[in-house]
């Protein structure tokens, strides 16, 4: 018999800070709240904000990464990407960019040119997904996942859609390939919708209410920009919407390996961080023009 997954906490967004000049983010973890979300190491949530028109696109200049993956999910606005492996692209609302930095890559992210010139609402989520030690030095790769490519499950009675970015929901397989078991869905639900999600009891699990207002497991209430963090008890989550809502669901099997982190590097041992710094300084991450 399935039991409900216990809600550990309903978390308000921490105070925001700027990443570059283009991303105003609330860091839910690891700095905002000391919660266990392995294999997810970091979650920066760019709550909805209006950007004024400009001819100089805002963003983050060239910087390195090693040892993990960055996953960017667009809800409003548009972000362009370039990296030293030769990948580039633009994500628009509903799209996902899944970059595996692994052995090392340089990249830059900034507001897409036309969006910058027009201005408007901007809303994104960026995750750092850790890699197991055996994959940290694998070849970088890039998955550009358009909204139209994301597999989805339609709820009965036109109550909404569950978009399966990664994992498997009721036989609908996610569009992204992952190195460890991860469930990542966007729930786009109409008012009065009910949805049930399943997660292994030992997986680290959370929901973020991107828009709207929901009731979780019949008692917990979460509104726009709040996170629901779950305990390692039970396996099912019941969601009921009080208005039209968009909810990001994250659940993953812990890697349970030591973590050594410095800036944009996420490794297992301090000496691996020193090697990453040396490799970056000697040009082994490639070249990318500012």
Q: Give domain status of residue 287, yes or no.
A: no
Give the list of residues 6+ apart from residue 33 with CB closer than 8 angstroms, or none: 9, 11, 14, 229
> What's the mean pLDDT in 118-134?
98
Let me know if residue 266 belongs to a domain.
no
pLDDT of residue 1: 63
pLDDT in tens, 8-40: 999 999 999 999 999 999 999 999 999 999 999
Question: Do residues 47 and 72 make contact, with C-beta atoms less than 8 angstroms apart?
Answer: no
Residue 243, domain extent: 7-252
Which residue from 25, 48, 60, 102 is spatially nearest to 266, judged by alpha carbons?
A: 102
The answer to whether residue 152 is domain-embedded is: yes
pTM assigned to the model:
0.97
Give the model confidence (pLDDT) of 169-219 as tens digits.
999 999 999 999 999 999 999 999 999 999 999 999 999 999 999 999 999
CA distance 202 to 200: 6
Residue 167 burial by Cβ neighbours in a 10 Å radius (0-12, 13-18, 19+): buried
Region 33-59: what's the mean pLDDT?
97
Residue 272 falls within a domain, yes or no? no
DSSP alpha helices (H): ranges in the chain?
113-118, 270-281
- Token code pair at residue 288: 């990318």
Query: How many structural domains does the chain have?
Result: 1
Is 289 contained in some domain? Answer: no
Q: Could you tell me if residue 200 is inside a domain?
A: yes
CATH (domain of 95): 2.60.120.10
pLDDT of 58-102, one tens digit each?
A: 999 999 999 999 999 999 999 999 999 999 999 999 999 999 999
Q: Look at residue 264 and tell me if it is in a domain.
A: no
């Amino acid at each position: 018999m399935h039991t409900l997954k216990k809600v550990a906490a309903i978390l308000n967004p921490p105070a925001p800070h700027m990443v570059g000049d283009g991303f105003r983010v609330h860091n839910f973890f690891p700095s905002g709240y000391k919660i266990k979300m392995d294999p997810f190491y970091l979650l920066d949530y760019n709550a909805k904000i209006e950007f004024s028109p400009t001819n100089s696109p805002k963003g983050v200049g060239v910087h390195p990464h090693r040892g993990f993956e960055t996953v960017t999910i667009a809800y409003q606005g548009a972000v362009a990407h370039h990296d030293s492996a030769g990948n580039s692209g633009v994500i628009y609302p509903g799209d996902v960019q899944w970059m595996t930095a692994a052995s090392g890559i340089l990249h830059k992210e900034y507001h897409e040119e036309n969006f910058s010139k027009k201005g408007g609402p901007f809303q994104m989520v960026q995750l750092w997904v850790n890699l197991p030690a055996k994959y940290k030095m694998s070849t970088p790769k890039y998955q550009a996942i358009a909204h139209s490519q994301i597999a989805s499950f339609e709820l009965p009675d036109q109550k909404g859609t569950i978009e399966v970015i990664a994992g498997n929901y009721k036989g609908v397989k996610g569009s992204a390939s992952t190195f460890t078991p991860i469930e990542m869905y966007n729930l786009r639900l109409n008012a009065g919708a009910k949805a049930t999600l399943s997660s292994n009891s030992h997986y680290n699990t959370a929901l973020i209410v991107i828009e709207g207002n929901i009731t979780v497991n019949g008692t917990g209430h979460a509104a726009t920009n709040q996170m629901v963090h779950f305990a390692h008890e039970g396996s099912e989550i019941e969601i009921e919407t009080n208005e039209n809502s968009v909810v990001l669901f994250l659940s993953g099997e812990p890697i349970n390996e030591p973590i050594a982190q410095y800036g944009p590097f996420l490794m297992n041992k301090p000496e691996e961080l020193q090697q990453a710094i040396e490799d970056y300084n000697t040009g082994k991450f490639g070249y990318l023009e500012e």
